[in-house]
Chains A and B, each alone.
Chain A
Amino acid sequence: MNIWLVMLLGGALTFGMRMSFIYLFGRYEMPVVVKRALRFVPPAVLSAIIAPALFMPENALDVSLGNDHLLAGIVAILVAWRTKNTLLTILAGMITLLVLMWAGGNI
Chain B
Amino acid sequence: MNQTSKSFWAGVRAEFPLLIGVFPFGLIYGALALGAGLAPLEAQMMSSIVFAGSAQFITTQLVRDAAPGLIIVLTIAVVNLRHMLYSASVAPYLKHLPRRWKPMLAYLLTDEAYAAAGLHYERHGLTPTGHWFFLGAGLALWTTWQISSALGIFLGAALPSAWPLDFALPLTFIAMVMPVLKDKPMLAAALSAGAVALLAQGLPFKLGLILAALVGIVTGTSLESRR
Contacts and interface: CB of A to CB of B under 8 A. Distances in A.
A45 B167 contact: no
Given A7-B42, A76-B174, A23 B217 contact: no
B58 A49 contact: yes
Interface string A24-64: 11100010010111111111111111111111100101000
Interface in B142-176: 162-164, 167-176
Contacts of B191: 47
Contacts of B54: 49
Nearest to B69: A1
Contact of A61 (B82, B198, B217): B198
Interface residues of B, number: 91
Contacts of A20: 84, 87-88
Nearest to A60: B201
B20 interface: yes
B102 A19 contact: yes
Contacts, number: 259
Given A13-B77, A40-B220, A52-B197, A94 B174 contact: no
Interface of A: 1-11, 13-15, 17-26, 30, 33, 35-56, 59, 61, 69, 72-73, 76-77, 80-81, 84-87, 89-90, 93-94, 97-98, 101, 107
Nearest to A3: B42
B100 to A, nearest CB: 13
Interface in B200-225: 201, 208-209, 212-221, 224-225
A45 B79 contact: yes
